[in-house]
Structure 1
């Protein structure tokens, strides 16, 4: 019974602390986090996206079209595992290489 009373008292303390918090500060903090999150999802139109950084931990497995991503310098050559003429069957043999890259 004593343990139960302690839990009730602790719960009352927590609720009192929450009740005494300044709601406007909490709302401001939440709004700042929301704005930061939206900026990450939708960069400014004037802001140029650096695809080398954006796809830094990504591996692209494919064919000549995928290979073109690195040839056009859209993404780093390291992130592309492909050869012209690759097929789905041939790609199966590249999976070990992709696993070793640990994207």
Structure 2
């Protein structure tokens, strides 16, 4: 792969992640509007959607101008990540691996 294809693949994956973040942001604001959050964007849902449209357009443009090799690499990496998720879930159900919840323990200590 050329350097340009590698950078394009990274940008494509980043674009997918950012679109997922925008969708999550809007979905959570719609489903749980009164939940206390560490940061508040003081706008109503329709304005938040409009606010997310401009960067989403740039992200979609980055994804649209990708080459075939970039699509292939991104599809392969996405399939590997999905397979890895199910493998970890399987290993956890068989208790072959132990997963630590260090973040939850730290939050519990902060409350005390």
Scaled by the length of structure 1, the TM-score of the pair is: 0.30
| Relative contact order higher in (CA < 8 Å, ≥ 6 apart) | 2
As a proportion of its length, which structure holds more helix? 2
Scaled by the length of structure 2, the TM-score of the pair is: 0.28
